[in-house]
Amino acid sequence: MVVRTKGARCRNRAIFIRKFPKNKKENMAASTTSSFPTSQEGVATSSQQNLDAITDDDFEYVDEEFVLSHSAEQQAQPEPMIPDLFKQPSLVKDDLITATSQLQDQTVEHCLPFLAGEDGPLDLNDYGLPKLNREKHIKFLKQSLGPLPGRFVAVDASRPWYLYWCLSGLTMMGEDVSSYRDSVIETARTMQNESGGFGGGHGQTSHLATTYAVILAIALVGGEEAYDVIDKKAMWKWLCSLKQPDGGFQVCVGGEEDIRGAYIAAVIITLLDLPLDLTPESPAYDGRSNLLTGLAEYVRSCQTFEGGISSQPNNEAHGAYAFCALACLAILDNPRRIIPSYLDVPRLVSWLSYRQYAPEGGFSGRTNKLVDGCYSHWAGGCFPLIEACLSPSGPGAEKNKTATGLAAAPESLYSREGLIRYILCCCQDQTKRGGLRDKPYKMSDPYHTNYVLSGLSSAQHQWDLDSDPLPLPNGDTTPSLAALGADSVWNVFPYIDENDQIYEDSDRVRPIHPAYAIPQKNVNAIRAYFQGRSGFASTLGGE
C-alpha cells in the first residue's frame, strides 16, 4: 500500500480518499500506513477504531489518496525532469584540441551545475528552474539609472545606451518608466547637435548608434514634450549626409558604413516619419535616388558564404548583424515578400541554428565562439522575423487554440526551451547585486540585462503577420514612406507549449516589437505623433 499526495502523477488505481486529523495527522499517517494489510480485505481493526474516535472538528482539509502498489514503501515526490540534452556535455567531440575548444569545454563545465540545479538553494518554480528574480533585476536597473562610480567615466560615450538598456529592461518587467520622462528630456537635450543627431554626451559627435538609443529611450518614456526634443529637420539633413551611393549609411560623418547604419536609418526614418527626398548635399544625391534607394540591396551584399550576415560585404558573419539585416528588411516591406527576395533564407536559418548550443541552450554570436546571454536577442531575436516570413498567411487566418484559448505553439525553428533554461539557470545574477549576465562566471550589467530579457520575451511570445503583402504601385521595388510596413500587421500571443512548459506565468515578461525592440504601443505612439505633424517644427530648427 502506498500513500501519495493528491495531484501527484500515478498510474495506480485509487481505492479511497480520506481526510487526516489536523492534530494527529503525522501519527495517524504513520499508523495507518504501517498497519494496512497487503491483501484487499480493508483497513486493520485497530486503525479503524482510532479513526472512528475522531470527531469532525479534528479534521483538516488535506486529502490523501490510498492506492494499490506492489511496494510497501512510501513513494517520494517526483523531481522535475531535466532532459539529458541539458545535463551532459555533447556526445560529439572534436579530437583536435585548441584554445577555442578548451574555452568551450570550460564554459560547459561552468554551466552544467546551473543547468542541473546544483548551484545552491534557489527559489525554484514548479518545473525545477530558478524563478525570474524580478525584484532584484528591477532594483539593479533602477540603480544603474542613478549616479554611477567614477570608473564609469570609461563608458561616458555610452550614456544614451544606459538610458535605453535600463528603461527597456524595466518596461519588459512591467515597470512604468514614464516617471523618468523629465530626466530623459534633460539628458537628451544636452546630447543633440544642431547639425542633427545625438552624440554620446554633451559636445560629442553625432552617431547613429547613440541616436538610435536616445530615440528609443524617448519612445519608451513617451509624451509630446519628450518627442518635441527631437529636431526632425536637422535629423533628416544629417541622415542625408550619411547616405551613400551604394545604398548604405555611414554611422557618422566620415565614419564606417555598415549594416548597423542600414538598420538604424530604417528605424529613425519610420519612427520620425522623415521625408525620403535627399538634399543636394547628400553623397548619394543624383536627382532620382532617395533615402531608401538601394538599402535592401546593401543588406543583401552583407550575406556571407556561411549564410549569416556580416557588418560589411566580405566580412565575418555575426549574430547582431543578422538581426540588423532582418529587422531592416522587415521595416522596409512585408517580411513575407522582402526577406526571401533579398536573402538566402535556408542558408541563414542553417547558420542561425548552429549558433544555439547544447547543453548550454544559449546562442553564440559567431562560428566557434562561446555562448553569450546577449545573443538571446541578437541571434534568438532573428527567429520571430524569419518565422513570420515563412508562416502561412492571409487575413483572418484561423489560429489553432489550446485548452486555455491562447494561440497554440507552432513548430519553432529553434529550441525555446533551451534558451529559456540558459536564461533562467545561467544568466541570472543570484547575488544581492541582481541583473543578468553573459554567462555564470561573468558580472551582470545593463547591456546584458536588457538583451537577455529581450531574448526571454521573444522565446515566451509568438509574433504573427496577419496580412499578405500588398502590390507595390507601378512596378516599384522600393516602397514609399507611406507604404513602409503598411501591410505588416503584427499580432503577438503568449507562446504556449502545454507539453514542454518550463516556466510559470510569474516568470513571463512583456513582449517587444520584433524589429523595433520596444513595445508595439510605444512604436505606434511615436509614429502617430510625427505623422500628425506638418513641416519641421522642432526645439532647435524652424519650419
Q: Is 57 noted as a catalytic residue in this protein?
A: no
Catalytic residue among 445, 464, 487, 507: 445
Catalytic residue among 321, 375, 516, 529: 375
- Is 49's pLDDT higher than 50? no
- Residue 80 has a pLDDT of 63
Annotated catalytic residue, options 136, 159, 260, 318: 318
pLDDT at position 124 is: 87
Catalytic annotation present for 142: no
User: Do 343 and 303 contact (CB within 8 A), yes or no?
Assistant: yes
What pLDDT, on the 0 to 100 scale, is given for residue 410? Answer: 62
Active site residue 126: no
Give yes or no: 448 in active site: yes
Confidence of residue 154 (pLDDT cuts 50, 70, 90): very high
10 has a pLDDT exceeding 90: no
Report the alpha-carbon distance of residue 481 to residue 176 in Å, rounded.
31
Selection from 310, 300, 299 nearest residue 351 by Cα = 310
Give the pLDDT band of residue 500 (cuts 50, 70, 90). confident
**Does residue 42 have a pLDDT over 60?**
no
445 is catalytic: yes
When pLDDT is averaged across residues 516-526 and rounded to a whole number, the result is 97
C-alpha closest to that of 522 among 275, 226, 188, 292:
226
Percent of residues, the chain, with pLDDT higher than 70: 76
Higher pLDDT: 410 or 3? It is: 410
Q: Which of 231, 258, 273, 372 is catalytic?
A: 372
Mean pLDDT of 216-240: 98
Whether 91 and 30 have beta carbons less than 8 Å apart is answered as no
What is the per-residue pLDDT for 466? Answer: 76
Least trusted range by pLDDT, from 193-202, 357-366, 385-394? 385-394
The one catalytic residue among 18, 134, 142, 366: 366
pLDDT level of residue 483 (50, 70, 90 thresholds): low
Q: Which pLDDT does position 405 carry in this prediction?
A: 45
Bigger pLDDT: 126 vs 401? 126
The second-level CATH assignment, the architecture, of 124-146+155-470+477-532 is Alpha/alpha barrel (1.50)
Residue 43's pLDDT is what?
A: 36
Lowest average pLDDT, out of 57-71, 332-346, 483-497, goes to: 57-71
Higher pLDDT, 503 or 218: 218
* Residue 198: DSSP 8-state: B
83 pLDDT above the threshold of 90:
no
Question: Does the pLDDT at position 72 exceed 70?
Answer: no
CA 19 to chain centre: 46
> What does the block give as the cell for 448?
546584458
Look at residue 475 in the predicted model and tell me its pLDDT: 52
Q: Which of 31-35, 279-283, 450-454 has the lowest mean pLDDT?
A: 31-35
pLDDT confidence of residue 52: 46
Going from the C-alpha of 395 to that of each of 88, 391, 400, 473, 491, the distances in angstroms are: 45, 13, 15, 21, 12
Report whether 389 contacts 345 (CB < 8 A). yes
Copy the grid coordinates of residue 190.
544636452
Convert the pLDDT of each residue in 400-450 to its tens digit.
444 444 444 567 899 999 999 999 999 999 999 999 999 999 999 999 999
Reply yes or no on whether 513 is catalytic.
no
The chain-wide mean pLDDT, for the chain, equals 83
**What's the average model confidence in pLDDT over 213-234?**
98
- Predicted local distance difference test score (pLDDT) of residue 514: 97
Which pLDDT does position 61 carry in this prediction? 40
Reported as a pLDDT band with limits 50, 70 and 90, residue 120 is low
How sure is the predictor about 455, in pLDDT bands with cuts at 50, 70 and 90? Answer: very high
Q: How do residues 175-190 score in pLDDT, each as one tens digit?
A: 999 999 999 999 999 9
H-assigned helices in 302-355: 319-332, 335-342, 345-353
Q: What is the mean pLDDT of residues 480-485?
A: 54
- Catalytic (active site) residue 52: no
Q: Where are the beta strands (DSSP E) in 97-236?
A: none
* Count of Cβ atoms closer than 10 Å to residue 480 Cβ: 13
- Selecting among 324, 374, 426, 427, the annotated active-site residue is 374
Q: How far apart are the first and last CA of the chain?
A: 86
- Domain ranges in the chain are 124-146+155-470+477-532
Residue 526 has pLDDT above 70, yes or no: yes
pLDDT of 249 higher than 50: yes
Q: Is the pLDDT of residue 93 over 90?
A: no
Grid cell locating 45: 481493526
Residue 40 has pLDDT above 50, yes or no: no
Verify whether residue 56 is a known catalytic residue. no
pLDDT grade for 392, boundaries at 50, 70 and 90: low
The phi and psi torsions of 320 (rounded to 5 degrees) equal: -65, -35
Element (H, E) at 19: strand 14-21
Catalytic, 344? Answer no
| Catalytic position from the list 438, 464, 487, 507 | 438
Catalytic, out of 439, 448, 461, 513 = 448
Looking at the predicted structure, is the pLDDT value of residue 328 above 90?
yes
| Range from 61-65, 153-157, 444-448 carrying the lowest mean pLDDT | 61-65
CB-based contacts of 235, cutoff 8 Å, min separation 6: 196, 197, 211, 268, 272, 274
Q: Which of 19, 142, 369, 399 is catalytic?
A: 369
